[in-house]
Chains A and B, each alone.
Chain A
Amino acid sequence: DAGVIQSPRHEVTEMGQEVTLRCKPISGHNSLFWYRQTMMRGLELLIYFNNNVPIDDSGMPEDRFSAKMPNASFSTLKIQPSEPRDSAVYFCASSWDLYNYGYTFGSGTRLTVV
């Protein structure tokens, strides 16, 4: 089992550019979560999906952020346009079920917007 795979590991981009982060969940997991981690705000849940359907996107900070899950093995988080305050580590996690199973996190994408 390769675990949750995220790409890229590091991304440096200029303010105003579009950024796309990618995630491949563990095969068979049907719930997928996107978190953002910063020193100031800790681990924040942005959005989560169950069976490829977005369940709750109330954590998405603003309209510049969007997420999709076109199939069970792939999800994207897009920021357009990016701003310096978006700099953070973005984690994707997956789990077997929506009900009370521990997550497995990916290695994260460290995003720096300059």
Chain B
Amino acid sequence: GENVEQHPSTLSVQEGDSAVIKCTYSDSASNYFPWYKQELGKRPQLIIDIRSNVGEKKDQRIAVTLNKTAKHFSLHITETQPEDSAVYFCAVSGGYNKLIFGAGTRLAVHP
């Protein structure tokens, strides 16, 4: 089955810096790649997603890039703010929208 690896597991940045989180996947048939943000004690919430026919997608300070050949995709957060501190999960889906999640990255943004 699908295997998703996410790196790094923890990331600490200064406010205003950029943060990059990377995920690799194993199934070349996967075609949908969402990112979720989970604040402490709350539910995961979708922040951005990308489909396999697109190489990059941007939404204000966040962007996702996809390299289907290498089977990896990345989340980029620019101009980080303290409220960006959370756990971020990548996920991968093929066919039946069965999302397989990465292990998560705990991002800490220090003022």
Contacts and interface: CB of A to CB of B under 8 A. Distances in A.
B46 A43 contact: no
B51 A100 contact: yes
B85 to A, nearest CB: 18
A55 B100 CA distance: 15
B93 A42 contact: no
Contacts of B32: 100
A102 B34 contact: yes
A45 B98 contact: yes
Interface size class of B (residues with CB under 8 A): 20 to 34
If over half of B's interface residues share one DSSP class (helix, strand or loop), that class is named, otherwise mixed; here it is loop
A107 B97 contact: no
B107 to A, nearest CB: 16
B43 A55 contact: no
Given A42-B101, A42-B103, A99 B96 contact: yes
A76 B100 CA distance: 21
**4 tightest A-B contacts by CB?**
A100-B32, A105-B43, A102-B46, A43-B101
Interface of B: 31-32, 34, 42-46, 49, 51, 89, 93, 95-104
